[in-house]
Amino acid sequence: MPDDPRPLDDDDEENDDQPTPEELAQIRRATLADAAAVDALILQNCTDRWRKVAMVVGTALEEFDAKFPYLPYVYMPVRILEMARSGVLEVQGDAMDMRSSEVRFAGK
């Protein structure tokens, strides 16, 4: 049983996927090689059909944690946003709100 039985309020629910200051510092230390490897891992879990960002991240999470123990999981939606900016992926919604957004290969 949880220590605090109060339900999450809307602010908690909306901000739970946003990086903390510590996670932002970890993300800033990621190398170009880290970014390329994380991008490849994400792309392995994307298709030409829309998938929830949470599904893509969740499917990749075990391998991500094993390969990148020094990076927070929120680095994956950050990389999804970057790949959307570069035209590799398409995103519907805010990828940082992983349960409410979707991703697929671009141009489909």
- Beta-carbon contacts of 99 under 8 Å, excluding residues fewer than 6 positions away, are 17, 52, 53, 54
| Cβ atoms < 10 Å from Cβ of 60 | 20
pLDDT tops 50 at residue 14? no
How much is the pLDDT for 107? 86
pLDDT tops 70 at residue 90? yes
pLDDT tops 80 at residue 73? yes
- Beta-carbon contacts of 22 under 8 Å, excluding residues fewer than 6 positions away, are none
pLDDT per position as a tens digit, 16-69: 578 899 999 999 999 999 999 999 999 999 999 999 999 999 999 999 999 999
pTM of this structure: 0.82
Cβ atoms of 43 and 57 within 8 Å: the answer is no
